[in-house]
Amino acid sequence: MDHFVASYTNGLLRLNWVQGTFVTYEIAVQAARTLEKLAGGKTAPILVDVEGVTGVAAEARAGMNAYRGFSTIAIKGDYPMGTVLSAFARQSLTPTAYFTSENAALRWLAQQTGHEKRKEATDYSDAEG
């Protein structure tokens, strides 16, 4: 069973967790390796969608916070469960923020990386989504 869908387009990594996934350490490592391969070993910004995730194992949280393969991390989720699931990310040394809107997350990533003109960040309206 696939636990996530990952992509890399225009310098932006995306990780979408599959509905109902409980993220174990092994699954988190698999996701990190996939993302690293997609980015060609480069450090890149990432948008992570945690909607539908049922939980994250303690070992997975520790590994995610220690991983340095991303320049900035925007976590998009539903409220209130998404805030609970992403709370551990505040301990990360990588700039990380939580959003309920994909548009807001993309704008923040563009600002953080100095790419305000990035196509995927500027083509979105202010509508939730």
Averaged confidence pLDDT in the chain: 83
Instruction: Please state, in angstroms and rounded to a whole number, the distance separating the CA atoms of residues 100 and 87.
Output: 14
pTM: 0.82
Question: Residue 6 forms beta bridges with which residues?
Answer: 15
Give the rounded percent of residues in the chain with a pLDDT score beyond 90: 56
By the 8 A CB rule, do 53 and 24 touch? no
Classify 110 in phi/psi space as left (phi over 0), alpha (psi -120 to 50) or beta. alpha
The bridge status of strand 44-49 relative to strand 12-17 is: parallel
pLDDT, tens digit, 9 for 90 and up, residues 79-114: 776 777 777 777 778 888 889 999 999 999 999 977
61-80 per-position pLDDT tens digit: 888 877 888 999 999 998 77
